[in-house]
Each structure stands twice: as structure tokens, then as C-alpha cells.
Amino acid sequence: MLDNPDSPDAGSTGFAALGLHSSVLDELTKLGYSEPTPIQSEAIPILLEGRDMIGQAATGTGKTAAFALPILQRMAQAREEGSRPNGPTALVLAPTRELAMQVSQSFKDYGKPVGARVVAVFGGQPIYGQIKDIRRGVDVVVATPGRALDHIGRRTLDLSTIEVVVLDEADEMLDMGFAEDLEAILSELPSERQTVLFSATMPPRVNSIARSHLTDPEIVKIAKPKDDPDSLPQVTQTVYTVNRHHKPSALGRILDMEAPEAAIVFCKTRVIVDQLAETLNARGYRAEALHGGMSQEQRDRALGKLKNRVSNLLLATDVAARGLDISHLTHVVNFDVPTEPEAYVHRIGRVGRAGRQGVAITLSEPREQRLIKNIERVVKKKLTHADIPSVDDLRARRFTITEKSVLEAIASDDNADYRAMAERLKDENDLNSFEIAAAALRLLHEATAPETDTSEIPTAKFRERPDFKNDRNGRGDYKKDRPQRRNGKFANEGDRTRLYVSGGKNTGMRPKDLVGAIAGEAGVPGSEIGPIEIKEKFSLVSVPSGQVDNVLAAMKGVNIRGKRLTFRREKF
């Protein structure tokens, strides 16, 4: 066991009872942490003993601290003993750049007293800057699998000193196509090491990695706590079916009707977040963006505006919004339907807490009926389907808001000057009171109501998917479904578009490299990427047509297997 010079006595409570070093405990106190979560209480003592461990716990349960604190404990003791190694002590692998940034920031926050040197490495960022950071000295490397392999291949990341490796959200990494990358990285690590695996679910592929790379692991499974019936979320769940290109306009109308006090709008990618924030601000909302492409200062500023009621809308990606707790949040909006029902449950759980009423709104495209049905199975209820507000609906709602504003003004004590003005207008212009009131109401309404929508949004209906024979990834029978070649050239069919990539066999390109890069950078599920063809000097990859602009924007400047490649639509 890793000895702690400040071993707790029998009366210790909270984090002190777990055997953490005094300097780590002091920093936790400064950060406002008092009591460990269940996963922390279970995992920290095991990891302090140096045991391998499998932790099954949902996002938001405090698992980052569960593995970060024992690693920092090692560093604190090594510093006291004067045995701090020259290379990194710990490697943490995470599925996305957003999570890598979040985990690295947590290490920096907890590790200030021990002088923790932490470097996050991920795609979409110049690799040479990361190389410089590593060469300056590093204790903890937090990396996405693809970029970690890049550094290993360049010999810029030496794994010989690694004592602990953590696979964070292992199921997500496998879903994104990183299985071979993980195997390659783990094979490069010293055989004498501590291996820790965290996963929200334990499918067979995760179990396979655990059996191959963990030694007699302890298993910690944290069940989701049962809620008190009196505190169960009271959430109205509504689905609006709308075609993709009408979604921004539809969202604006729905928000106009709902008038949320505070809302989080969840989007699939950072590109959509930025575009939608601009659209809603133009409509008159105070909207802020939150995603992994922003600096920590920008994130803190955006979140602070919502918490302090300066803004009323926060547009965010799932990973960037992890851990957010807004006390006055009234609405959660799924601008993109989450592919995993559990993500939907986690999102809507942010409203309707402690018996309060909350509203969950989902914008679903006609082809997403299967995703909605999956969600209904998990939440064990039918979601309410509603029509997009019409022009008349909006007009009536805006009149209601104007009437409310007038009634509130009448109830105030600040009307004396305006009463005198009304009397003067009446007497000098031979007007009656109703004419004056009607004109004043019109001026108020025109000055305060948003610009009126003039055209209706077409009604969209769910359409059934073809009855394809599902493969193990649920993608259907690709022999029947995939786009076909015509006259030697690829023809886009249905909802898929072929992209050209300026690297092929000559750069060592493999299909999994493209899947991992696109899934990690653009947020497109691995199951929706393909078919893929690797040629000698270029590659071709098919993606959903609705994701093309997002993929092209996300892949600018991204390195794959150490090469900066160009992505563009395939030319006919």
C-alpha cells in the first residue's frame, strides 16, 4: 500500500477517512469539497493500495476525482521521498477533446499543492505546441487515443515511466472506433503498472479489454440512487417534428411561446452551437455558447452570465455542459436528438428537481423516429407530440405579453406624468381615451415584440425507415443501403455524401483512423461513418449529408497519423 504520513484515525470523516495526503485534503477544502461521492468513497482506498480497478458509474458521479486524487497522492509522496521520475507518471485516455480538457483542468485544480504538471493532448490543435509542453516536463498526460498514438509514433511521448493508466469512459471510446488504438497504446506501456477502467456501461467489448489488460481487478459498481417520490423530476416532455433546415426557425418560435426563465439548448457539435447562438441572438435572445473550442475563461464567462441571469439561453455540447447545475433552470432543449437514451435522461434531469416543474423540448427530424421510440422505452412513457407554433400562434402570444406588460405598468406608482400627458392629448386633440390607449398599445407592442414571422413552417411527419436487416452495429444491410457507383463515379443517394481525403495508403491511413478522427472531432457517431475506401494517395469516406458542413469545418487543420490532411466534397 502507498503509505500516507497523515494516516486517518478511527474518528476521521469525509475525504480524510479515505487516507489522502494532507496537502491534497487542504486543497479539496479550499475548493469547497467536504464529502466524497459514493464512487469516490469506494474507489479511492482501492486505488491508493495500487490495485487494478473497474469502475462502473454514470457521468456526473465524481469519477474524475476518484482516479485523480490517488494519482496526485503518488506524486505528493514521490516528492517527499525525492523520487519524482523524469517522465510522466500517469496517462489518462479520454474519448473527446472536451473531456480531455475537463479532466486535465481537474488535475490542475486538485494538484496545485504538489505542483502537478499536466498536459492535455488531442486533435484539432497544433501538435508541435504539445511536443514543447511535454518536453518542458510533465507528470500527467491526458490524451485522446488518436493523438496519443501520434505522439508515440513520433517518439515525443515516452511511456516507460508510466505507473498508472486510466481508461475514462471506455465504452464511449470503443463506440467511437478506438479499440485498436487502445490495444496499441496499452501494449506500449510497462507491464508493471496500475490499470484503471471507468465505464458507464459494460458491454462485451469493454469486458474483453478489461480481461486482457487488467490484473485481478476490484470491481466497483455504483447503482443509480432511487429518488424520493416527492422529489422526482416533474418534467413536461414534448417533441416537435421538423425538417432539418427549418430547425433554427422552429426553435426560435418555440422559445417565443415558452418564454423560458433560463434554458440549456443541447447541440451535437460546437459548429452548430456557434451558428445557433448567432441566430438566436439576432432574434433578440441573450444567448451564450459553451463548447470545448473555448478557453476556460470564455467558458466561465458564459456560464456566469446564465447563473447571474445576464443571459437566459446557454447553447452547449454534452461534454462541455457536464456538471452544470443552474438553480433557476426551467427548460432543457434537445436541438439534436441524442443517439443514446441515457444522454436524454441525463439532460432532462437538470430541470424539474426537488418537485419543481420543468420543461423538456426535443426537435426531431422525420427520419429520427427510431431514436424517439428508444427514448420512450427508457423513460417508460410516450412523449407528447406537438405542432410547430404558427404565425397566428406567435401573434397571439406577443399580444398576451404586451397586455401583461401594460397591466404591470398600471399597477405601478410611476404613472402620474403619463396620466397628465393622456389628459392633455384628450383635451387638445378632441380624442377619446380608447383611441389614445390603442395607439399607445400599438407603439409599445411594435417597440417590444420581436419582428413578426410571416411564413409558416411546413409540417413534417415521421417517415418509416426501410426494413433493413440490422448488422451488429444497427446500421442496416449496407449491401442494400449503401450508395452505388454509376459510370465509375460515386453517386450520392439518400442522405449520404462522399468526402475526399488527401491521404491514403501512402500515409498509413486505415479506416479506423478516419472513423476515430471524424467521430472525435465532429461528433458523428462511428456507426454513421462509412463506407470507406483507402486508395494509394487518397481516401473516400461517406458521411450523413446533414453533417457534411460540420465535418468539413471540424476537420480543418486536423492531423491524422501525423499528417495534416484536407477534407472536401468528392468532385464528380
Task: Map residue 429 onto helix, strand or coil.
Answer: helix
pLDDT band for position 341 (50/70/90)? confident
CB 468 within 8 A of CB 421: no
The predicted structure's pLDDT at residue 235: 87
Beta strand spans in 30-152 (E): 53-56, 90-93, 118-121, 140-143
- Calpha distance 272→510 (Å, rounded): 28
- Calpha distance 38→514 (Å, rounded): 38
The predicted structure's pLDDT at residue 487: 39
pLDDT digits (tens, 9 = 90+) for 36-64: 888 999 999 999 999 999 998 866 678 89
Least confident of 236-245, 293-302, 488-497, 503-512: 488-497
What is the end-to-end Cα distance of the chain in Å, rounded?
A: 64
pLDDT digits (tens, 9 = 90+) for 487-498: 333 334 447 888
The whole-model pTM stands at: 0.52
pLDDT digits (tens, 9 = 90+) for 80-96: 777 767 889 999 999 88
The predicted structure's pLDDT at residue 417: 76
Angle at 306 (CA atoms; ends 300, 308), nearest 5 degrees: 95
Number of C-beta neighbours around residue 347 at 10 A? 19
For 269, the grid coordinates are 457539435
What domains, with CATH codes, occur in the chain?
Answer: 14-221 (3.40.50.300), 229-390 (3.40.50.300), 393-448 (no CATH), 478-569 (3.30.70.330)
Number of C-beta neighbours around residue 156 at 10 A? 16
Instruction: Tell me the pairing of strands 559-560 and 567-569.
Output: unpaired
pLDDT digits (tens, 9 = 90+) for 190-247: 999 999 999 888 888 889 999 999 999 999 998 755 544 444 457 899 999 998 888 9
Packing angle, helices 341-348 and 369-379, rounded to 10: 60
**Can you list the pairs that 544-548 forms with residues at least 24 positions away whose Cβ atoms lie under 8 Å?**
544/495, 544/496, 544/497, 545/492, 545/495, 545/496, 545/497, 546/244, 546/495, 547/522, 548/497, 548/499
Question: Can you tell me the mean pLDDT for 12-31?
Answer: 78
Whether residue 436 has pLDDT greater than 90: no
**115: buried, middle or exposed (CB in 10 Å: 19+, 13-18, 0-12)?**
exposed
Whether residue 164 has pLDDT greater than 90: yes
CB 153 within 8 A of CB 508: no
Who wins on pLDDT, 119 or 411?
119
Give the sheet arrangement for strand 496-501, strand by strand: 532-534, 539-544, 496-501, 567-569
Number of C-beta neighbours around residue 309 at 10 A? 11
- Calpha distance 211→202 (Å, rounded): 12
Task: Map residue 50 onto helix, strand or coil.
Answer: coil
